[in-house]
Amino acid sequence: MIRHALILAAGRGERMRPLTDHTPKPLLRVRGQRLIEWHLQALAAAGVREVVVNTAWLEEQFEPALGDGARWGVRLHWSREGRDHGGALETAGGIAKALPLLGEAFWVVSGDVFLPGFNFDPTPAQAVIDGAHLAHLWMVPNAPHHPRGDFNLREDGLLGSDADGPRLTWASVGLFHHAMFEHVPVGQRLPLRPLLESAIAQRRLGGSRWGGAWTDVGTTERLASLQAG
């Protein structure tokens, strides 16, 4: 059982304006509740008890909206990038800042993806728990707005970055080992992709295919489509 998770919630959400001018994207509502609440429910059901939320844009809204996490059976912690660093640190930088609040292996999920039915089962990622792999990512078919995808999923369960092979898109959910981020200085702005490429080169990046519903809620049109469904 994995007891720690990080929900990425620091982004500005430029493509969701004007909605995100006044509300952080993870606090927007989809089918009756906030996007981030779908994750909190699923994480709690999977046995996660310590959830870190990293924040930057309009970060003062999160704690009043979510409280201490008790209503979902978790304890919420805050990694405030806006207050401490003047803005979002990107994905790897945000994870590195939150690392002291996380366990040896921990979930990471973006606060602006909608994936109802995902049960945060770490079984396929046992190699991360054992320390053999640095991360395990769940992959989905490429959406029209991201036709080239991100990585190849090989027969041996490892991910690759072969530009000529068939690719899938990272669903923005994965299990990570703390060793992947130990060398990243706290406060450094750093995207995740270079660390993933390094893990690929080491043959330490695993992957699984997620066949359930998934939406990257990146535009107002996609949000409206979800609401209509």
Stronger pLDDT, 88 or 220, i.e. the higher one: 88
Residue ranges making up the domain that contains 208: 4-228
Query: What's the confidence (pLDDT) of residue 12?
Result: 86
Structural domain count, the chain? 1
Burial (CB < 10 A; 0-12, 13-18, 19+), residue 122, is middle
Task: Provide the CATH number for the domain around residue 83.
Answer: 3.90.550.10
Q: Which residues contact 139 (CB under 8 A, 6 or more apart)?
A: 150, 151, 153, 159, 168, 169, 170, 171, 207, 208, 209, 210
For the stretch 63-81, pLDDT in tens is 999 999 999 999 999 999 9
For the stretch 174-210, pLDDT in tens is 999 999 999 999 999 999 999 999 999 999 999 999 9
Query: What's the confidence (pLDDT) of residue 218?
Result: 83
What's this model's pTM, rounded to 2 decimal places? 0.95
For the stretch 153-173, pLDDT in tens is 999 999 998 876 789 999 999
What percent of the chain clears pLDDT 70, i.e. is strictly above it? 99
Stronger pLDDT, 1 or 43, i.e. the higher one: 43
Query: What's the confidence (pLDDT) of residue 132?
Result: 97
Distance of CA 228 to CAs 39, 198, 223, Å?
Answer: 21, 41, 9
Is 47 a residue whose pLDDT tops 90?
Answer: yes
Alpha helices (runs of H) in 34-192, residue ranges in sequence order: 35-45, 62-66, 81-85, 90-98, 126-130
What percent of the chain clears pLDDT 90, i.e. is strictly above it? 83
